[in-house]
Structure 1
């Protein structure tokens, strides 16, 4: 038989429960006060850090030594790009983005000297000496040339001495007029036999041992086992040859190939202050980037190559349909570049919707030679689908649209201008 507790016992139990709840409430309030103090400390620290970041902007980035920095905007969402001077390669991020936390993405890049000797350009035992934007070779005995690629030949003939008259004639000094393609041989007599030799790059001219004729290396070695002597043009010289390049190019340290002259980096251009100098193969282009003038929207330039739409007014219903930003990029390629080939990538940093759509705008050459395809959910690629014979300039526009439940949230236009050179090297 179960006995019911008396009223006194129930009151005592209720008092104990009430005391327990009071203790729990006090402990909870104390925890809240402690948490509030910690939050205040964190908020104070965040406020100081924001103040250090110059009122809602990221800290200014340093320009790497031997390099350049493109872009001055320091507000969230803006990018800064980095380039290195000729002879240096970029190590680290090519671009950094100012994040919502007012910190920059990626690591600060540096420009390191390119080791031109890394590919072992010196042949036949030659020693490579690395220099800024070039190299030089110290050749072993018997070899010459920029990369020690040419042997030092010795041409000689042997003549039997049949008479004193011919012998004395063979060893007497020769008086041959020095013209570019002809020079006298050097003869010596050893045990009744006359040996005649020529300087490197010359050979005995037929039966006349007193005359050395220049060897036309451009004709003789036009297509050797290693290919042509010169990538572009070959000029025969007395005792040798030299390679030539078209305007806008210099001969590379190996003496055979052609290297584009960067007129923008070396200031060999006539671009004005309000223009950007874009280096191309064999030349340069002066480009002026202006923000578009659209009836229902206005734009401001946030970097030398980027324009962003200003905030739309509440009563302007067409403004949100205009592109949020328009970026300009310039590429320089050689003529007849092999295809298919990815030329440019467009990505979304912080997708807001559930769908990203990439498309190629415009018609003409851009449609004929390019297409846009997706490489992953957030990235679209501009792909060259057929080679282009230069010289030519093609402008392609890549559109990236953000959608949420099929409703447009934002549009971004990337204008890619491709400069195709006249030559294929």
Structure 2
């Protein structure tokens, strides 16, 4: 479009005017806080809005020119051109001729001699005029200027420049957010980015796990570690969530380190674990019995070995083997001392016709019994009874000899019987010989006689 100063001759077509307006209207501003020339940032609308230069700039157009505001700029047009109505038959007008600048203008378009003062309106040239944020290329097009690459932006040093069409915007890198124009670090740990442990670092964060866990490939969650796979326990291992527990086999207990197992001394728990003696073994224990005993099926109590039945004795064929708790003895054949004569294998008799038998017991009966050492008292251990009854007779039972320690006494249970009672504990090994006397008294015939049971008590060494 060509304008002539003198007479304001208008030599252009409506098509050129419409094209110029369209170019100006189609230029869009950048979308950052920094707006291109002709726009200002509206904080409420949060976008760049057009600046009306015709109102804000005094005398923007000089001479007989009128200012017409455009989106992102303005135009200075002759007033008479501005007042002419727009016609649709403008295409019938002849195409304007654009003279070659190298050969000068035709005579019909010769301008006045140039003045020293530049014109107050823009001169339309063959190349396109580019708004702020664009630069003219060799082919006459406007290309976007990358302010970020040319370092012509005004972003804060903490910000990152992002180029946009016709402008640029300032943003923050990942891990930062914009507060008050400054990029400040985001504390990801406050928002539970990590499942367990979190360490914030500038622009990022680092997750870790508690002992007993390992970080998953997502670098955020943790999974339990099966410590038992490394066999940390000397015996058994039980994996738990985040840890593990060791257990021990029977007869062992866990040491203070929580992983090794040490032998449990069962014998130290109680003195009654074994009847005789307890011997600790790795992971268990065993009971031992003294000589003359064997360990019973329960593994704890002791049972007497009857050497007389097993034949494991030293008695001769002439002797009699007598077994007692924890041992045995060999009894010699009965020998009756004069004036007594043997009437059986365990009885001696002194005849009444023999004057030497006067004031002596009529019979002596030999008995043997065993008794456990320390047996609880009182305890009935032997019973004595008259085998022959005479009319008008009564019987007296007493311990005639052998009860020096007063451990025994006779308790009469009927007119013809009595029981030997252990009244005090007696310890062995010991052999006690008691003469238990039964006195027969008959006042009708004036008779008094006696019989003796000689009881030999073998007290064992042990209380079982």
| TM-score relative to the length of structure 2 | 0.47
Unmatched 5+ residue regions in structure 1? 1-158, 175-182
User: In structure 2, do the counterparts of structure 1 residues 410 and 336 end up closer, same or farther at CA, with 3 Å as the change threshold?
Assistant: same
Which residue in 2 is equivalent to 1:255? Answer: 299
Find the counterpart in structure 1 of residue 256 from structure 2: 206
Aligned partner of 2:212 in structure 1 is: 161
Cα 1:161–1:392 shift into 2, 3 Å:
same
Q: 2:398 aligns with which of 332, 340, 359?
A: 359
CA contact under 8 A between 1:339 and 1:387: conserved in structure 2? yes
| CA apart distance, 1:172 | 3.9
Aligned-partner Cα distance in 1 for 2:326–2:301: 14
Q: What is the rounded CA distance, in whole Å, between the counterparts of 1:416 and 1:291 in structure 2?
A: 16
Match of 1:109 in 2: none
How far apart, in 2, do the equivalents of 1:173 and 1:349 lie?
Answer: 80
Distance 1:185 1:373 in 2: 63
Q: Aligned pair in 2 of structure 1 residues 409, 298: CA closer, same or farther (>3 Å)?
A: same
The residue that corresponds to 1:302 in the other structure is 344
3-state SS in 2 of match to 1:264: helix
3-state DSSP of counterpart to 1:271: coil
Q: What displacement does 1:414 show?
A: 0.2
Give the deviation of 1:240 after TM superposition. Answer: 1.5
What is the alpha-carbon distance in structure 2 between the residues aligned to residue 256 and residue 275 of structure 1? 34
Name the counterpart of 2:310. Answer: 266
In the alignment, structure 2 segments of 5+ residues that lack a partner are: 1-209, 216-223
1:222 paired residue among 270, 290, 298: 270
TM-score of the two chains, using structure 1 as the length reference:
0.50
Instruction: Tell me by how many angstroms 1:322 deviates.
Output: 3.8
Greater relative CO, 1 or 2 (CA 8 Å, sep 6+): 1
**Cα distance 1:208–1:404, how it changes in 2: closer, same or farther (>3 A)?**
closer
Kept in 1: contact 2:227–2:243 (CA 8 A): no
Q: Distance in 2 between matches of 1:250 and 1:357?
A: 43
> Match of 2:334, SS?
coil
Mark the structure with the bigger radius of gyration.
Answer: 2
The 10-residue stretch of structure 1 (231-240 or 186-195) with the greater mean CA deviation from structure 2: 186-195
Over the residues paired in the alignment, what is the CA RMSD in angstroms?
A: 3.2
Q: How many residues get paired?
A: 245
Q: Which aligned pairs between 1:229-378 and structure 2 lie closer than 5 A?
A: 229-294=273-338, 297-303=339-345, 305-309=346-350, 313=353, 316-319=354-357, 321-352=359-390, 354-362=393-401, 365-366=403-404, 368-378=406-416
Deviation at 1:339, TM superposition (A): 2.9
Shift in alpha-carbon separation, 1:298–1:170, aligned structure 2, 3 A: closer
User: How far, CA to CA, are the matches of 2:280 and 2:384 in structure 1?
Assistant: 49
After TM superposition, give the deviation of residue 321 of structure 1 in Å: 4.6
What is the Cα deviation at residue 398 of structure 1? 0.9
Indicate conservation of the 8 Å contact 1:352/1:402, yes or no: no
d(CA) in 2 for partners of 1:184, 1:356? 77
Q: Does the 8 A contact of 1:302 with 1:308 survive in 2?
A: no
Q: Tell me by how many angstroms 1:191 deviates.
A: 7.1
* Cα separation, 1, equivalents of 2:430 and 2:405: 15
**Aligned-partner Cα distance in 2 for 1:367–1:194:** 67
Residue-by-residue CA offset, 1:289-327 (whole Å, 9 max, x unaligned): 423212xx3412413x33344x565xx433365433221
Q: Tell me, what secondary structure is at the counterpart of 1:318?
A: helix
Which of the pair is proportionally richer in helix?
1
